[in-house]
Amino acid sequence: TDPAKIRNFCIIAHIDHGKSTLADRMLQVTGTVPDREMRAQYLDRMDIERERGITIKSQAVRMPWDVGGDSYALNMIDTPGHVDFSYEVSRSLAACEGAILLVDAAQGIEAQTLANLYLAMENDLEIIPVLNKIDLPAADPERVSREIADLIGGDPDDILKVSGKTGAGVEELLDRVVERIPAPVGNADAPARAMIFDSVYDSYRGVVTYVRMIDGRLTPREKIRMMSTGADHEALEIGVSSPEPVPSKGLSVGEVGYLITGVKDVRQSKVGDTITGKMNPAEEPLPGYTDPKPMVFSGLYPLDGSDYPILREALDKLKLSDAALQYEPETSVALGFGFRCGFLGLLHLEIISERLRREFDLDLIATAPSVIYEVTTDDGKEVTVTNPSEYPDGKIAAVREPVVKTAILAPKDYVGAIMELCQSRRGSLLGMEYLGERVELRYSMPLGEIVFDFFDHLKSRTQGYASLDYEPMGDQEADLVKVDILLQGDKVDAFSAIVHRDNAYHYGTMMAERLRKLIPRQQFEVPIQAAIGARVIARETIRAIRKDVLAKCYGGDISRKRKLLEKQKEGKKRMKMVGRVEVPQEAFIAALSGD
Ligand code: GTP
């Protein structure tokens, strides 16, 4: 295809603002999917994926569209909407020349709208603002148009109004994509350079790699090279999605398509990497490649210890389709055998634990999420800590923690409540802006504070109206300490936490109290202590038992007695020993989950 007749774009929107529904209408209006085959969320076929264990989700789809007698190829590239995947989002955006900024006409601009908009602007994309859901009675197109115009400039009357549901305005929108978004430019005669913007595992075909051709051309059967690793593969199949995969004779400048090489693991075909030809390789890779780096860590443990091998297999399997997932075996006194896992963020953690539960039928307990700390000991050693129990003993010279730039968007009535919360989480205000009835607050905040139930608190203080987004902004030194929880003098590893010195007492008393309520009495008195190093900062006591379980049954009937003994035996299986103290695993789990 002539690059002048190609338009590459994505849709950026806050969750639920109607991206999938609009994409469906575009597939239909352009005739890419015939009416009789159309179904809701055509591109979002996660349940089929799950049923058949394959990935057929389209990361990019090519649609024909005629304007003024000329035929164009529109490539719509899917972007993950969430901040956890901001690197993937930035690569998808880098594959486009323009973006449709889709805003729900009843809701207005939200935090993810802004975060994605800023990323799109950094990538120099042409932005087409669009109001969606104008069929809703609650839609307030005038107010939201003004909000958008305030944000990106331009005339509010110029903003297109569409409904993904009824299809109103969708044809005009496609015309505007052709008019406003620049055609791709690249050097057709240069050595091939294709940027990988997504890479998906399919159990039949192996990894399907989605690319945007920047320079040159790639053809099937050609030997290709991954520039970050230097690994060579053969391009077994090259094609375009429309939206079913259609093999083609090759991809040239400006085109978007897929490539299959037979590799079995997405980490051999990494998002952001540049593919070139082995025979005539490019000298320089495209800019912007980085390895996905986990930011949030948590221990995952099967509730039933015998599920450990299943958990290992499940993680091995998920890793094939998720280059960012990391894990290594870990054991815990309180929880038994499990894995320390690294995630891009909290949502990534939730997605993985949910998939382990649903697809592999595993019952899991996750330890409190932790971030990466860089600890310098007094004798100058540098230690990277992703698990509080690895925190070095002895004197510490300095600790650095990751910091994120946080953007919160909420109705302006909540400004006071939000500021109070952010200050209590060691945030410092970077800026504040009013967008009509709403306000955007920008803070720098330690990531460790955000992973610790920040979002729940934000939601409850704003009656659910606030939205949140964050991106990494380096690290900073902080006055942090490790608090250990001890049962009769023995550390319970899963409860160690790295917290700010000012919060250490609060954390210690809260955990000690929780455990006192949850751990059953023993034959002897059990002290529960919270300590920083050797210094105890809080203490609770579980008093000794007076009678044994059977005492109250003396003279009672024998079957009740047997039942009690059996119950006790069953309980035994799930008992964990901490030193001499016997603790039902349920007590640890309840203490970790906070209920
Ligand atoms: P995520 O994929 O979860 O981010 O959501 P999305 O942005 O893709 O939104 P989706 O298309 O799933 O739509 C969210 C909800 O809004 C669904 O219940 C849709 O039926 C509804 N919706 C989408 N577009 C319209 C519209 O134009 N009008 C009305 N009334 N409802 C719409």
C-alpha dist (Å) from residue 409 to 276, 405, 425, 432, 555: 42, 13, 17, 10, 67
Q: H helices within 491-549, ranges in order?
A: 501-518
Q: Is the distance from the beta carbon of residue 81 to the nearest atom of ligand 1 less than 6 Å? A: yes
Interface confidence: ipTM more than 0.90: yes
Q: Show Cβ contacts of residue 65 under 8 Å, excluding neighbours closer than 6 positions.
A: 30, 71, 72, 73, 74, 174, 177, 178
Contact 468, 84 (CB under 8 A): no
Q: Report residue 320 CA to chain centroid gap.
A: 17
| Residue-wise DSSP of 159-196 | SEE--TTT-TTHHHHHHHHHHHSPPP---TTSPPEEEE
539-565 per-position pLDDT tens digit: 999 888 765 555 554 555 556 656 655
User: Shortest CA distance to 522 belongs to which of 494, 542, 550, 508?
Assistant: 542
Mutate to test the pocket of ligand 1, among 14, 21, 100, 173 (most ligand atoms within 8 A of CB): 21
Q: Is the distance from the beta carbon of residue 132 to the nearest atom of ligand 1 less than 6 Å? A: yes
User: Annotated binding site for GTP, which residues?
Assistant: 16-21, 132-135
How many CA atoms, within 13 angstroms, populate the side-chain half-sphere of residue 297? 22
User: Shortest CA distance to 215 belongs to which of 180, 249, 247, 191?
Assistant: 191
7-57 per-position pLDDT tens digit: 999 999 888 899 988 998 999 999 988 877 776 666 554 444 444 433 344
Q: Is the distance from the beta carbon of residue 14 to the nearest atom of ligand 1 less than 6 Å? A: no
Q: Is the distance from the beta carbon of residue 79 to the nearest atom of ligand 1 less than 6 Å? A: no
Query: Is the pTM higher than 0.80?
Result: no
Output the CA 355–ligand 1 centroid distance in Å. Answer: 23
pLDDT confidence of residue 56? 40
Give CA–CA dist 407/431, Å, rounded.
Answer: 9
94 phi, psi to nearest 5 deg: -65, -15
Which stretches in the chain have pLDDT values below 50?
45-57, 553, 571-572, 595
* H/E stretch holding 88: helix 86-94
Give CA–CA dist 506/515, Å, rounded.
Answer: 14
* H/E stretch holding 277: strand 274-277
* H/E stretch holding 561: helix 558-573
Say whether 19 sits in a helix, a strand or coil: helix
Output the CA 24–ligand 1 centroid distance in Å. Answer: 11
> In 449-521, where do the E strands start and end?
467-477, 480-487, 490-491, 497-500
Output the CA 441–ligand 1 centroid distance in Å. Answer: 27
Output the CA 18–ligand 1 centroid distance in Å. Answer: 3
Output the CA 117–ligand 1 centroid distance in Å. Answer: 19
Q: Is the distance from the beta carbon of residue 136 to the nearest atom of ligand 1 less than 6 Å? A: yes
Say whether 429 sits in a helix, a strand or coil: strand
Contact 298, 368 (CB under 8 A): yes
